Amino acid sequence: MGPNTKVAEQSKKRIEARFGPGLVWILNPGAKDFALPDGARGPEYMLMWTKVLEGDSGLGKDFDFVYFAGPSDFAQFFSLGGRGDMQKIEKYYEDRSGAQESR
């Protein structure tokens, strides 16, 4: 599970909590339930979600709002605060790389 998936999970939880439990449900396209078949790649993923978001009419009327994860979501995930940010990102990947090698 890469950072994109983890950021999506955290964003979903944070947004639902912000607007109120039971009042907003966030569709997380990175969740396991929405995985593409084996062999599908980025372009297929983007096409699929474009079709879902635009809906039958092509106007997206099935959704009240759409939220795209951005730099602030990733900054929160990596605990970036404007000082030593590259070292924090480097440490994140080094820690995971070491964990993979020791398996």
Candidate from 31-45, 58-72, 83-97 with smallest mean pLDDT = 31-45
- Per residue in 11-49, pLDDT (tens digit) is 999 999 999 978 888 888 878 887 777 888 888 888 888
What pLDDT is stored for residue 82 in this prediction? 95
What pLDDT is stored for residue 103 in this prediction? 47
Domain borders along the chain are 3-101
Pairwise CA distance, residues 4 & 34, whole Å: 14
What pLDDT is stored for residue 22 in this prediction? 86
pTM above 0.75, yes or no: no
| Residue burial 87-101, b: 16+ Cβ < 10 Å; e: rest | eeeeeeeeeeeeeee
